[in-house]
């Protein structure tokens, strides 16, 4: 039996969460075209008779600007400490030099694979240029070209990962797919809709907490709060005549129903909490 922690690192928007979902064959982590979508370390556990891989998606690596960022980078640090194998993900079309600076500064003590992602969006020449840029680097002894979005070359990647996985007994029961509670995934699904529906600072000034998750006879009743920093943001989230919050609610509800395979009654409220991203108590209350 082989088992171990395989943790995904990279700059914001490289496609880490998309890759976690592709490796798991199931959507666990939310995804958006905007940077800084993921704020937590999200484990996905893949178990067969031969191996157990505990994948971790992590927030994109950045210079922290406020306390929430610091918490996000702490999640990255935790994942760096227990990794058996590091997957270093780079978008073929991003700034390779900046990615290289980050990967070099990680001082990895475990094996790593350099993954060049989004090859569906780059010509062969560009892909080859990326390979020649990275192949000299210490952390890039093995390079794999993938498209996480199309799940292309993801099975080959999985094979390589298994080869590099240490021998050992499983850490989790075989039916566990994550270490996080359903409530967490519900709040993330709502947050994803906010990333998709709103521009500018709104997604970054927002968080979501589920404060009620009750099993009724025919459905699950969920009550969640959308937290923003300002009254003006609350008005935008609600929209004219409640139009926007209704849209968030109906899109999120459909996806939550799929995720838990049950009918859902979803109630959303918006709360203003000035500077919650800087406030240790609020951050703790909201799961950071």
Instruction: List interacting residues with Mg ion (CB under 5 A).
Output: 16-17, 37-38
Cα–Cα distance between 188 and 208 in angstroms, integer? 7
Structure tokens at 199: 């521009």
SS (H, E, C) 161-184: HHHHCCECCCCCCCCCCCCCCHHH
Least Cβ distance, residue 91 to Mg ion (angstroms): 12
SS (H, E, C) 73-130: HHHHHHHHHHCCEEEEEEECCCCHHHHHHHHHHCCCCCCEEEEEECHHHCCHHHHHHH
Among 4, 15, 44, 203, binds ligand GTP (CB under 6 A): 15
| 121 contacts ligand GTP (rule: CB under 6 A) | yes
**Taking contact as CB under 6 A, which single stretch among the options 16-24, 40-48, 211-219, 262-270 is the one that binds ligand GTP?**
16-24
Per-residue binding letters, 131-160, with ligand GTP (x by CB under 6 A): ----------------xxx-----------
User: Which partner in ligand GTP, Mg ion, none is near 233 (CB below 5 to 8 A by kind)?
Assistant: none
| 7 contacts ligand GTP (rule: CB under 6 A) | no
Among 31, 42, 220, 264, binds ligand GTP (CB under 6 A): 31
CA dihedral 211, 13, 31, 87 (to 10 degrees): -90
Binding site for ligand GTP (CB under 6 A): 10, 12-18, 31-33, 35-38, 59-60, 117-118, 120-121, 147-149
């Amino acid at each position: 039996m082989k088992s171990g922690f395989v943790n995904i690192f990279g700059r914001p928007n490289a496609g880490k969460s998309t890759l976690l979902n592709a490796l798991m064959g199931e959507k666990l982590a939310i995804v958006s075209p905007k940077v800084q979508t993921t704020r937590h370390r999200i484990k996905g556990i893949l178990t067969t008779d031969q191996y157990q891989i505990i994948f971790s998606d992590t927030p994109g690596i950045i210079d922290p600007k406020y306390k929430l960022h610091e918490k996000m980078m702490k999640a990255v640090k935790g994942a760096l400490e227990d990794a058996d194998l590091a997957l270093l993900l780079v978008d073929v079309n991003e700034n390779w030099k900046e990615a290289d600076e980050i990967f070099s500064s990680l001082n990895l003590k475990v094996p790593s694979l350099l993954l060049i992602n989004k090859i569906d969006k780059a010509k062969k020449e560009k892909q080859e240029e990326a390979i020649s840029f990275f192949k000299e680097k210490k952390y890039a002894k093995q390079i794999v070209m993938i498209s996480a979005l199309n799940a292309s070359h993801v099975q080959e990647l999985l094979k390589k990962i298994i080869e590099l996985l240490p021998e050992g007994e499983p850490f989790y029961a075989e039916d566990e797919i994550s270490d996080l509670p359903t409530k967490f995934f519900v709040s993330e699904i709502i947050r994803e809709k906010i990333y998709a529906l709103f521009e500018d600072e709104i997604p970054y000034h927002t968080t979501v907490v589920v404060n009620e998750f009750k099993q009724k006879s025919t459905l699950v009743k969920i009550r969640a709060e959308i937290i923003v920093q300002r009254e003006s943001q609350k008005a935008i989230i609600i929209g004219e005549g409640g139009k926007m919050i209704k849209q968030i609610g109906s899109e999120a509800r459909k996806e939550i129903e799929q995720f838990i395979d049950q009918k859902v009654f979803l109630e959303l409220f918006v709360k203003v909490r000035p500077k919650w991203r800087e406030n240790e108590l609020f951050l703790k209350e909201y799961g950071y």
